Structure 1
Amino acid sequence: MTSFLGAVAAATAPRSPTRSGSGTKRENTPMPSPRPPYRVAIIGTGGIAHAHAEALTELSERARLVAVADVDLTRAAEFADRFSVPHVFSDPQALLESQDLDLVHICTPPQTHAPLATMVMRAGVTALVEKPTALSLRELDQLATVQEETGSKVLTVFQHRYGAAAVRLRRLADSGALGRPLVATCETLWYRSDAYFEVPWRGRWDVEGGGPTMGHGIHQFDLMLSVFGSWSQITALAERQARPTDTEDVSIAAVRFDNGALATVVNSLLSPRETSRLRFDFEYATVELEHLYGYREEHWRFTPAPGHEELSALWTDGDEPDITSGHRLQIEAVLDAWETGQEPGVCLQDARRTLEFAAATYASAFRGVPVAAGELTDDDPFAVSMDGGAVPWEPVKEALV
């Protein structure tokens, strides 16, 4: 991680894009069909990178993984051997300078996401960044500035938006068929032992940006936001109950949406029976999801209100493939968008709404007051860092060298 950051620091000066296949060109010009596979690289070859590489393998007719980079060259070489990647680097800048790329997946620890995304954009390439996009609202806004300067894009991995049932739910909700949105519950009840936090960068504000609110529950409440829309106010609690972390290990929030709906959100790493649950109560139907790390059709339940039984047919109408809500679906959606001249998701604007939700959860919890959307502006401590300098407990992690 230190080497990545050093390489990033040397590459932050603005420069003209040098790639003929930049993300901007792909997004603004419909691509001919058939066309050669898109050229893709991965920076960071740890655990989550395998999910990206497996998804790209499934999409090999449309996208080809041509290079990887990791500060641990041995790990990178083993990864490249497993996925038949021809080019291996220890320096992400060297990768960008030697390869003609369309897309770079950033799969490194969160502290490096924004610097690496900046590097990728300045090389004229689209960056697809694992969550969280950045450690703070300030960092994300800096990415937006670079995006405007370069014309290249930053996309965030929120793959659960792309499962067939979630797409269908948004379509029905947006059409008004389900009536007004009224109530939601969003629960990420996971379990991580003390040993999980022996990895030095886990459980640290300065590297992960936060605890389960930033690193785990963010997928579920991002999906909730994609269905219910913009939130207006959050009242929250956060505690470090049991784990050897500097961050919280549980948070709970009560949320009001612009459309008047209310929701509760729980993010926990203390729950031995792990589950991820979402429930949406609309005027004419309840839609529920319970899964763990990825859902299929079987994980959803649709219950129409009395007198609205005909809605069940709308819920089951469709012949979409029943594929687990993983990285493949989002990557495929990006490629589809490029080839039809559309803007791919998840864009920085959408990612900012989700990141602001996390920041407001922390600000409300540690200040003990409700926080409104848009309140954390400019130099507000909670816009600068998720802990806001207001965490009420002592750190337990040793400083990283």
Structure 2
Amino acid sequence: MLRIGIIGTGGIANAHVQGYLAFPEHCEIVALADVAPGRAAQKAEEFGISAAGYDDPAQMIAEADLDLVSIATPPSTHAQLTIAALDAGIHVLVEKPMAPSLEECEAMLAAQERSGKLLSVVAQNRFRDDLATLKEVVDSGLLGSISHVRVDSAWWRGLPYYDLWWRGTWEKEGGGCTLNHAIHHIDLLLWLLGSPAEVTAMLANAQHDNSEVEDLSVAVFRYERGLAQLTSSVVHHGEEQEIVIQGQHARVSQPWKVLAESSDAAGFPARGGDAERVAAIEAIVANREPLAHRGHEGQIEDLLAAIRDGRKPIADGRAGRDAIEVVTAIYKAGIEREFVSLPLSASDPYYRAGRLVEHAPHFFEKTASLAEAAS
């Protein structure tokens, strides 16, 4: 029975609590911590669990005899808490984004390596049936070489969203929608296609004049032959998120749609298209066994199994680090107005912690700093 601790008791902590509670035969939540006095105990009471409440995360790490800790705190705290837990011999599941800088990510990976424990970064969308299906189709080879990918990480947030004390600042949040919202889709892009060779981007704050950070970015990625484009946004009404993958032989997308053209003698689309290929792709979808657990619950199931089996988790620390590398390249490209080659070198100034805070534009200044988000 694994003993679980959770640091941070804000909204996202609920997904962690519910995820662990789904596997009572494998784990037990024994401790919660939050720097706001009394909030950890309050969260335990809310879920009816007999877990000790701590106002000091460091004290919890030192005293609670934990096997695994979830870190669900603001991004600027992830590295320090993760390293402390790993060095104490505790496995870690840390919320996205892994950390605001590659330097911090590498320090977290170094702690994981020397501790011999597991480090997993939240990538709950890998544990969705529709996206796992998309991955299986891409891996099948039925699409052929990839020509173009369009990713819309489209979210919408009103002005009060940035009133919470740590949001809307480069120092505490680490960035805007590119880091904190599109990180999900960046992870999926890397999961589906691997890392691009080159990135360029533009950043803007279109609608949130109470925030330093961007609320909109558009990036273009170069792969071996094809291109991908990513829109990161918290200004899109309807939050219509989409991934469209155009291959040599067919197109698939999430929400699900499949199309496959065939050529007539003159090179134009032939009537009816490639029905046989469409049928082969749809057969993959029809024959796929649905996931037993999804989202955070699915990732927690995988991590618990990885600890038991002595293997890497599906979404490990390296995957979390690679997503931050792409975010860093987007920010560098947008701020410096240049094309950025990947991988980034450790000698690159944007690799280092603090560089982004020093050089990022303040689109506007933060006008409110609430201790808790309005309910």
Q: Does the TM-score normalized on the shorter chain lie above 0.5?
A: yes
CA distance in 2, matches of 1:119, 1:173: 39
Unaligned runs of 5+ in 2: 262-272
Which residue in 2 is equivalent to 1:73?
A: 37
CA distance in 2, matches of 1:107, 1:399: 23
CA distance in 2, matches of 1:113, 1:89: 18
Which residue in 1 is equivalent to 2:16?
A: 52
Find the residue that maps to 2:298 and give its secondary structure: helix
CA distance in 1, matches of 2:191, 2:128: 12
Mapped pair 1:302 → 2:258? yes
Mapped pair 1:312 → 2:282? yes
User: CA 1:267/1:63 → structure 2, altered by over 3 Å: closer, same or farther?
Assistant: same
Say whether the 8 Å CA contact 1:69–1:76 is kept in structure 2.
Answer: yes
Which residue in 2 is equivalent to 1:134?
A: 99
Say whether the 8 Å CA contact 2:216–2:232 is kept in structure 1.
Answer: yes
Which residue in 1 is equivalent to 2:137?
A: 172
| Percent of matched pairs sharing the same residue | 32
CA distance in 2, matches of 1:60, 1:282: 44
Deviating more after overlay: 314-323 vs 141-150: 314-323
User: CA 1:74/1:386 → structure 2, altered by over 3 Å: closer, same or farther?
Assistant: same
Say whether the 8 Å CA contact 2:251–2:259 is kept in structure 1.
Answer: yes
> Deviation digits for residues 71-95 of structure 1, max 9, x if unmatched?
1232211210122132111112221
2:73 aligned to which of 91, 96, 108: 108
Give runs of ≥4 in structure 1 deviating > 6 Å: 398-401
In the TM superposition, 1:257-272 aligns within 5 A as: 257=223, 259-272=224-237
The one-letter code of the counterpart of 1:354 is A
Q: CA RMSD in A?
A: 2.2
1:94 aligned to which of 42, 59, 71: 59
Which residue in 1 is equivalent to 2:365?
A: 396
User: CA 1:38/1:260 → structure 2, altered by over 3 Å: closer, same or farther?
Assistant: farther
The one-letter code of the counterpart of 1:283 is Q
The one-letter code of the counterpart of 2:3 is R
Find the residue that maps to 2:92 and give its secondary structure: strand
Q: CA deviation at 1:383?
A: 3.8
CA distance in 2, matches of 1:328, 1:97: 27
Find the residue that maps to 1:271 and give its secondary structure: coil
In the TM superposition, 1:274-289 aligns within 5 A as: 274-289=239-254
CA distance in 1, matches of 2:302, 2:228: 29
Mapped pair 1:215 → 2:180? yes
Which residue in 1 is equivalent to 2:199?
A: 234
User: CA 1:386/1:227 → structure 2, altered by over 3 Å: closer, same or farther?
Assistant: farther
Say whether the 8 Å CA contact 2:71–2:82 is kept in structure 1.
Answer: yes
Which residue in 2 is equivalent to 1:256?
A: 222
TM (normalized to structure 2)?
0.88
Mapped pair 1:371 → 2:363? no
